[in-house]
A = this chain, B = another copy of it.
């Protein structure tokens, strides 16, 4: 920086000003400094800058398995939003959402002096970890219950499940079976709650939900079981991957979708529209959740109050895996 200053015939301070508050420098001086910067291809040292400003320009994201479509999309949304404000994003992927693993992940990020963290923790057991976040670190949570002492951005799982279930009932099905995600996932319990509430309100029989693990495999296994029961004409599956396995199981058992059984998924992964049959599902706008959570975090970092919780409505996408129940 000293070199740049000398070359431009100014002091280091002026160089710093050109880089940070250009409007406070006379245009001609500014131009000279910028030329010098270019000629020497000078790059400010971020470590020195953060040392004195106390800000790093880096955000941390703690997320469960980032290879999954949901987390990956959320992360992408955060990153895109962050870029527009000149933040960089550092990710820590955890393989368990316990209090300890979250604490460790946050510590690693803090050690690198991130300016704030987004925690993608759609899991019951994470709540404990979230309640014990260091109070001096701006933090936002994605996809958790809203009784936390930090802002939360999430898709309204209950509403999504309500829409899926109502859709199936409106097609004339007597009741709706449900293959759920693991119950300690917030998303899974929200979907169960939504599904159950509709059946209750309508006075329908409420079958025991079948516990899946989000994988196509578990959807397949449960599908084999459901296929044997001729009473089953409508299934709400808690995500598209399990629904994929479900479709295969029904097919292999000789049951037509949607003629014999209607299936609704959740997520709207990109392939959902090209499964056979194209899958009716509930679309979650993960990218938007990412964007929102970044905004919430930015509010906290900059000391603005900001909304405490932000819910996004999911959208029912009707394709060809659902149809009116055949008479009889």
Which residues from chain A sit less than 8 Å from chain B, CB to CB?
Answer: 43-48, 50-51, 56-58, 65-67, 69, 72-73, 75-76, 79-80, 83, 88-93, 108-113, 215-217, 219-220, 241, 244-245, 247-248, 251-252, 270-271, 273-278
Contacts and interface: CB of A to CB of B under 8 A. Distances in A.
24 contacts: A43-B110, A43-B111, A44-B111, A47-B113, A58-B90, A67-B72, A67-B73, A67-B76, A79-B91, A88-B92, A88-B109, A90-B90, A90-B91, A216-B271, A216-B274, A220-B274, A244-B271, A244-B274, A244-B275, A245-B274, A248-B275, A248-B277, A248-B278, A252-B276
A217 to B, nearest CB: 6
Given A46-B113, A244-B271, A252-B276, A80 B67 contact: no
Contacts of A111: 43-44, 46
A189 to B, nearest CB: 23
A5 to B, nearest CB: 19
Contacts of A276: 247-248, 251-252, 276
B88 A112 contact: yes
Nearest to A94: B83
A89 B241 CA distance: 28
A93 B112 contact: no
Closest 6 CB pairs of A and B: A216-B274, A47-B50, A248-B276, A245-B274, A47-B51, A72-B72
Contacts of A110: 43
Chain A contact residues: over half helix, strand or loop, or mixed? helix
A109 B83 CA distance: 11
A278 B90 CA distance: 37
Contacts of A216: 270-271, 273-274
A179 to B, nearest CB: 13
Most buried by B among A47, A66, A89, A112: A47
Contact of A72 (B46, B66, B277): B66
A186 B93 CA distance: 28
A255 to B, nearest CB: 12
Contacts of A48: 47, 51
A66 B57 contact: no
Given A67-B73, A270-B241, A274-B216, A80 B93 contact: yes
A80 B247 CA distance: 34
